[in-house]
Chain A
Amino acid sequence: MLIEKRELLDQAGISRALKRIAHEIVERNAAVGEVVLVGIRTAGVPLAERLAAFIADAGEVEAKVGAIDITLYRDDVFEGLPKPEVGTTTLPGNAAAGKTIILVDDVLYTGRTIRAALDALMDFGRPRAVQLAVLVDRGHRELPIQPDYVGLKVETTRQQSVKVILDGRDRAVLREKP
């Protein structure tokens, strides 16, 4: 069992971080006029929805929301037990071709999830551009993948884990073995 070591972000902190990311997205994509925020199941989906609301508040950029399930694209699908649950993928118009896609996830760690998400996305067509937004970047990349928008960058060890909890009392916590 993992125990909570310290709180990285509280409710206000998460909200501030998402607002800042929303502004950065608007700044960088204002000329495009339209982006699709695609949350990676499961934790990325509510974050994508919140980012879309902040972007809508700022005006200028129209943000649609989608969700992507990466289970069938994982490189370890037959290594873990039991077999992973497969979720649904929903993209606006069921297509990625020609769009600016912003992948949204809660924690960026090895980068393998993002690799799988990129592969899944490409099966929906050739996007105009893909960017990556994460709430927490905890380091330890195993693939050459870097985020475009980061809420919080934090030093961790491999034995620790970072958990983002969005249950009304939102927080991001660093956990480790006792």
Chain B
Amino acid sequence: MKHLLGIEGLSVAEITKILDLADTFAEINTRPIKKVPTLRGKTVINLFLEASTRTRTSFEIAAKRLSADAVNISGSTSSTTKGETLLDTAKNLQAMAPDVIVLRHSSSGAPHFIAKHVDAAVINAGDGTHEHPTQALLDAATIRKHKGKVAGLTVAIVGDIAHSRVARSDILALTKLGAHVRVAGPRTMLPVGIEEMGATVFERVEPAVEGADVVMMLRIQLERLGGAGLFPNTREYSRYFGLGPRLAATLKPDAIVMHPGPINRGVELDPAVADGARSVILDQVAYGVAVRMALLYLCGGGASSAAAEA
């Protein structure tokens, strides 16, 4: 595996291999000395041209626990604010010979574009409204950990499906692994043709979460709405599509509640549910480090991993 650009290009065997490896790396995070020397001398550049706390920190910790040197570049401190193009930024970074570039960008396809122009392995940490593959892999790992499997489970994804790269990657990953995926949200936030990805569409949240094993709540991506009025106001959204105690009481007794973060408390998720017994939200964050360690291990191999591709 050279790059990780999306779930779309991964086979079921590759996804399973990454999840198995993540389980192994999860053990390292429980040790008194949480570090192995595997990627000593390798350089990982975290190029985050869009806001992020969880994903960037997670990649940085993952790189450091594998003994790689991690360098962080964020949008506001980079030369892109001076008008440098993405291609020039990528070429300049390549000149410093990194082994892995982790890219988050507000444009869909940005990682695919720079992968063509750099020798380093490229990992997509979220590109526009397209994909967020590492989030989908850590979601799958968390589900597998709590339910023992993914195949045959019913997973309801609720919220702004149209603008959510997490929803797209999750639908791709979970259906590949054999789960039944339902999506629910205001009609204005359900993209046309989402059924073709293998998801069942619901326009109301109640039937979507009924009998589901996993309920994944998504944030409304106000930064991507461009001021368009896709719903009247957050109070009304919360009333019709939020997960509060009353709706949570109708869930299957062993259903788990997930959220990729950041949570808008009181909008899509009531604090009582976010902090409740069903919530595995912080397990998702914990698994994120292990999944990203697995990906850095698989992609960060320098010459030999490139040779494996050829």
Contact = CB atoms under 8 A, between A and B. Distances in A.
Say whether A and B bind each other.
Answer: yes
A94 B30 contact: yes
A86 B304 contact: no
A8 interface: no
Interface residues of A, number: 22
Contacts of B307: 81
Interface stretch (A25-33, A118-126, A156-164): A118-126
Interface stretch (B33-41, B132-140, B271-279): B33-41
B24 A73 contact: no
A73 B31 contact: no
A125 B37 contact: no
A121 to B, nearest CB: 11
Contacts of A119: 37
Given A88-B27, A123-B31, A81 B304 contact: yes
B92 to A, nearest CB: 26
B249 interface: no
Nearest to B21: A86
Interface in B33-58: 33, 35-38
A78 B37 contact: no
Interface in A99-143: 119-120, 123-125
Contacts, number: 54
B31 A124 contact: yes
B38 A73 contact: yes
Interface residues of B, number: 23
Nearest to B300: A78
A88 B24 contact: yes
A86 B20 CA distance: 9
A89 B308 contact: no
Given A94-B31, A123-B31, A72 B38 contact: yes
A83 B297 contact: yes
Contacts of B66: 72
Nearest to B27: A88
Given A81-B304, A86-B297, A72 B37 contact: yes
Contacts of B297: 72, 83, 86
A87 interface: yes
Given A72-B37, A94-B32, 18 more contacts: A72-B28, A72-B38, A72-B66, A73-B37, A77-B38, A77-B301, A78-B302, A78-B305, A81-B304, A82-B308, A83-B304, A83-B308, A86-B24, A123-B32, A123-B35, A123-B36, A124-B31, A124-B32
Interface of B: 21, 24-25, 27-28, 30-33, 35-38, 66, 297-298, 301-305, 307-308
In order of increasing CB-CB distance, the 7 nearest A-B pairs are: A72-B36, A72-B38, A123-B33, A78-B301, A86-B24, A78-B304, A88-B24
19 contacts: A69-B24, A72-B28, A72-B37, A72-B297, A73-B38, A78-B301, A78-B304, A79-B304, A80-B304, A81-B307, A83-B298, A83-B301, A83-B308, A86-B24, A94-B30, A120-B36, A123-B32, A123-B35, A124-B33
